Amino acid sequence: MAEERNNENIFHNINMENREMLTVSGVSDVDSFDDKAVTVFTDMGELTIRGENLHINSLSTEVGELSMEGRIDSLTYTDNRPQAKGFFNKVFR
C-alpha cells in the first residue's frame, strides 16, 4: 500500500499559523523528533523543523500529513530524498 502511495503525485504543502501551529503534507516518514527538532522525509527532500517545546499532534504516513505545535524557529531542507523503508530496515539500523 505504501508503494502505491509513492507512485502517486503527492503535493507537498506547509501551512504555519503564528509560528506556533504547523501542518506539513507530502510526508513519507519521520526520521527523528524531540522537543527541539523534528526531521521528516518529504517528496521535496528531508525537512528539519527546529524550535522549542515541539510536539507532534498527529502523523499519518498513509495520508502523508504531519500536524505539530510549539515555538517554530526554522524550517530547513536538505536534498536527501526519502528511500524506500520498511519495517525490517528500521529494526536493523
By percentage, how much of the chain surpasses pLDDT 70?
A: 74
Closest by Cα among 77, 59, 80 to 68:
59
pTM: predicted TM-score of the whole model, two decimal places: 0.74
pLDDT digits (tens, 9 = 90+) for 32-50: 999 999 999 998 899 999 9
Overall average pLDDT of the 47-70 stretch? 95
Please report the pLDDT score of residue 1 as a whole number: 40
Please report the pLDDT score of residue 8 as a whole number: 55
pLDDT at 90 over 60: no
Please report the pLDDT score of residue 89 as a whole number: 54
**Do the Cβ atoms of 73 and 52 come closer than 8 Å?**
yes
Domain spans of the chain, in order of start: 2-81
2-81: which CATH topology?
Immunoglobulin-like (2.60.40)
**Do the Cβ atoms of 59 and 40 come closer than 8 Å?**
no
